[in-house]
Copies of this chain bind each other. A is one copy, B any other.
Amino acid sequence: MPKTAAPLYEQIRQLIVAALAAGEWRPGDALPSEAALAQRFGASPGTVRRALDELAAEHLVERRQGSGTFVSTHSAPRQQFRFLRLVADDDAGGFTRELLGCRRLRAIAAVARALDIRTSEPVIEVRRMLHRRGRPVVLEEMWLPERHFEGLSADVITAHAGTLYALFEARFGVHMVRAEEKLRAVAATAEAAALLQVAPGEPLLSVERLAFTYGDRPVELRRGLYYTSSDHYRNELN
């Protein structure tokens, strides 16, 4: 227990997050105006504004002067690369996606622990590759708790044009808010080498990601292998 109650703007921030988690406003929707929210929460406009500014800093909402405050969506072009830090050294070209597989299975202990579910609870495993200029660059697999992604299948993925996170959001109402990644250098296994068209033992960048939705609930575990001969993982330290 904190000694004193959280400040009002923080309480309001949490109430708005709860409303987002409950789906009161969907990604892309406009939130009520500052004045309307101030009314609703019984606070002054300045206090509501502070809460909204914090949410904007976390990329949960997006503010547009003259038009309103909107729930962030992975469909927006600006969000396209928020979770993909691999860029070409010469900064050229985007990726094309190739689905390798999508199947239902039971979570092994490590996956269950990360996703905070019970071991052997059903999860959906997706495997895919990303290509740049026709060359495979990324091989990744991910595990998603089935209870949040009921009906996810190869067909559903193939039928969708945008990013996976845009699909998850549009189809399952699961919006990714933030992620934690662990990076290491590993040697390509025979299988990975064949898929990525490199020699076995070739150094690859391993990226293990745990992604969270509203309320810091983990909903995706992902492991990527990046071939970094002419691409690199870009990071900013602040």
Distance in Å from the Cβ of A154 to the closest Cβ of chain B?
A: 27
**Which positions in A face B, CB cutoff 8 Å?**
58-59, 82-83, 85, 178-187, 201-206, 209, 226, 228-229, 231-238
| Chain B residues closer than 8 Å to A238, beta-carbon distance | 58-59, 178
**Interchain residue pairs A-B with the least CB separation, the first 4:** A184-B228, A203-B203, A185-B203, A185-B185
Main SS at interface, chain A:
strand
Chain B positions within 8 Å of A231 at CB level: 184
Cross-chain pairs A/B with CB under 8 angstroms, 16 sampled: A178-B238, A179-B236, A179-B237, A180-B235, A180-B236, A181-B236, A181-B237, A182-B233, A183-B228, A183-B235, A184-B228, A185-B186, A185-B203, A185-B204, A185-B205, A203-B204
How far in angstroms is the closest Cβ of chain B from A109? 17
A83: which of B183, B186, B237 is its contact (CB, 8 Å)?
B237
How far in angstroms is the closest Cβ of chain B from A8?
17
